Structure formats: C-alpha cells, structure tokens
Amino acid sequence: MMALPLQGMRGLGQARPPRCSRQLTVKPVAVSHCVGIKSAGQLQKLVKPTFKSFRDVTRQQIASAKGSRAPKRKAATMMPVSTPRVLVRPPGERQMEWVDLWEAYIMQKVVFINKPITEDLANNMIALTLYLDSLDKKRIYYWLNIPYGEVVPTLALYDTMQYVRSKTATVCYGMCWGMGGFLLTAGGEKNYRYAMPHSILMMHHPSGASRGQASDMQIESKELVRMRDYLTLVTSESTGQPYDRVIRELSRNKWMDPKQAIEYGMIDKILTTPMPKMPDGPMVKFERAEDNPGLIV
C-alpha cells in the first residue's frame, strides 16, 4: 500500500476558503468587549461591517473641496439693474446730455414718490418742490406709489404743496394707503387728481403709541385726537363729504378702487388710454391662386 505524502493529506483534510470579490471593512472591536459569554447575535453586532451613508460621503467630499486650494468656479450673479439714461437738452444749454431718467422727468416738473414718507424723504421732496417752483409757474405733477407714511412729515410736504405758486397735480399708480391717500386727495388741485385703473387706495385715522406717566399719556392722546380731527376736516373739504361721515368711515381702513374713489371724491379721473379702433373689414385679403388666375404667388 502506497503512502500518501503528508502535504497531500493536509490538502484533503482542509478545505480551501472561498475567495470573496467584495472587500468589507471590519469594525475594530476592543478585547474588553469580547470578554465573557456573548450570544451569536451580540458577537455579530460587534464585528458587523460599517458602510458609509450617502450623506456622510457627501459631507466628506464637500469638506475636502472647501479645504482644497484648487481653482474654483465663480458663483453666477444677477446683472445689476441701473437707472436708465436718456439724451436730453437741459434748459439754457445748446448741447444734448445723457442724464438719469429721473432727472429728465424732474426737468419736466414731474416728481415720483415711491417710498413711505419719512422725515428724510419729506425733506428732499420739500426742497425739490421749492426749487421747481422757483423755475417757473408750470404745474408740478406728483406720481405717488406710497404704502404708508408718517403724519408730521406728510403734513409738512402737504403744506409746501399748498404754499408754492405752481399748481399741483397728483397721480396714483400702484397704491396710496394711509397718509399716501391723504396726500393724493388733499395735495392735488381739484380736477387734477388722477389714478391708474388698477390702483388701490385706502384711508384711515392716524395711529400712535405712548408710554410713561399717566398724565403724559393723556396729553399725547389728546394731541393724537386733535391731529385726527384736523386730518378729517381737511379730507372732508377735499372730498366734499360731510365731516361726520368721514370721521365715522375712516375709523377703520376704508379700501377703495378708482371708481369708488371717484364717487367718494378722493380723485377726479381715471387715467385710461382708449384702445385704437379696428377697421371694419380685413386689412389684407387672402386669396387662392385658383380663385384669382392673375394672382402671382
């Protein structure tokens, strides 16, 4: 009987472990965690391979990109919108000049107010009104888009509009709420108060707040009531409505569209451009070649 070599016998007794195409990362386990009696499930959890989630991989890539010195692409930004410039001839000049669009309108005595009336804005508008009045006596047009305004600065601008020699006209485009509605109604001369078709108008009583001693709060409340009565009186004279009706209806926000504002006396006319009339018959006649033999196609 032929004896097999020892190396061959070892090969028969031990099976070669299968090869695995996927390499797994085994989480290192401390020796102290394996001391004692562990069940099969606990041991499986200890040596369970760890896989990184998509979020972890993404965070790692972003962190490495931020720390890298490689050239980076600039972020896209919106093109800045600047004020248009137009070519006009200033008064007293022979040559044409490029000026801002707002300056060109100011030369024609057209003023735009599209912000809440504050002290700074009122000061600028008062100075501009006085300057335009010093040029000539042509009418000054105020285009208003005012969401709200402070009482005292608005009254200061209103007093200046009544003081100058030039007649004033007001036009609402967008909105005129609160003191903006008051300036639209009382600031412009009658028959020269306009509004665009889709404007929104609103008027109400002035509001305020105070704190401190009771006597001081009482004095401030009396001043607020006096201001309310004065604004109601001016609004009543401008709209032609009775004083009692105005003070009652303006105790809450009174919203109006241009048609309702005309009925209330807040404005005088709605600015609309009439549509051009279309011709009765077709402007171009379309004929087929077989219908008109003399037609050249």
pLDDT in tens, 258-291: 999 999 999 999 998 765 554 554 444 444 455 5
Tokens coding 291:
């219908």
* Mean pLDDT value of segment 196-202: 93
Q: Which residue has 């009925």 as its token pair?
A: 263
154-158, 164-168, 282-286: segment of lowest average pLDDT: 282-286
Q: Give the C-alpha separation, 270 to 267, whole Å.
A: 8
3-state helix, strand, coil in the chain (%, to 5): 40, 15, 45
What pLDDT was estimated at residue 277? 55
10-14, 71-75, 200-204: segment of lowest average pLDDT: 10-14
* Mean pLDDT value of segment 34-61: 64
* Mean pLDDT value of segment 192-199: 93
Q: Give the C-alpha separation, 166 to 137, whole Å.
A: 5
The residue among 20 and 242 whose pLDDT is bigger is 242
Angle, helix 179-187 to helix 151-163, in steps of 10 degrees: 10
What pLDDT was estimated at residue 143? 95
Nearest to 137 by CA among 166, 98, 96: 166
CB atoms within 10 A of CB 285: 7
Q: Is the pLDDT of residue 38 over 50?
A: yes
What pLDDT was estimated at residue 99? 84
Q: How many CA atoms lie within 13 A of 261 on its CB side?
A: 31
Q: Give the C-alpha separation, 236 to 243, whole Å.
A: 5
Span 67-88, pLDDT tens digits: 666 666 655 555 566 778 888 8
* Mean pLDDT value of segment 106-131: 93
What pLDDT was estimated at residue 167? 94
Alpha-helix runs per DSSP H in the chain: 6-13, 40-46, 54-67, 101-107, 119-135, 151-163, 179-187, 214-239, 243-249, 258-264
| pLDDT classification of 89: cutoffs 50, 70, 90 | confident
Q: Give the C-alpha separation, 71 to 64, whole Å.
A: 14
Q: Is the pLDDT of residue 158 over 70?
A: yes
% residues pLDDT > 70 (the chain): 69
Residue 177 dihedral angles phi and psi, to the nearest 5°: -115, 145
CB atoms within 10 A of CB 125: 19
- Beta strands 193-195; 97-100: pairing state: unpaired
Cβ(141)–Cβ(171) below 8 Å: yes
Q: Give the C-alpha separation, 25 to 293, whole Å.
A: 88
- Burial of 15 per CB tally in 10 Å (0-12, 13-18, 19+): exposed
What pLDDT was estimated at residue 80? 60
Longest Cα–Cα distance of the chain, Å, equals: 138
What pLDDT was estimated at residue 102? 86
Q: Is the pLDDT of residue 46 over 50?
A: yes
% residues pLDDT > 90 (the chain): 48
What pLDDT was estimated at residue 37? 55
Q: Is the pLDDT of residue 293 over 60?
A: no
Tokens coding 70:
């490689």
Cβ(100)–Cβ(83) below 8 Å: yes
What pLDDT was estimated at residue 10? 47
> In the predicted model, what is the mean pLDDT of the chain?
79
Q: Which residue has 């109601």 as its token pair?
A: 232
Region for 3 from its dihedrals, namely left if φ exceeds 0, alpha if ψ lies in -120 to 50, beta otherwise: beta
The residue among 125 and 76 whose pLDDT is bigger is 125
Q: Which residue has 């003023």 as its token pair?
A: 111
What pLDDT was estimated at residue 79? 55
Q: Is the pLDDT of residue 26 over 60?
A: no
Q: Which residue has 């962190």 as its token pair?
A: 63
Tokens coding 295:
């037609």
| pLDDT classification of 112: cutoffs 50, 70, 90 | very high
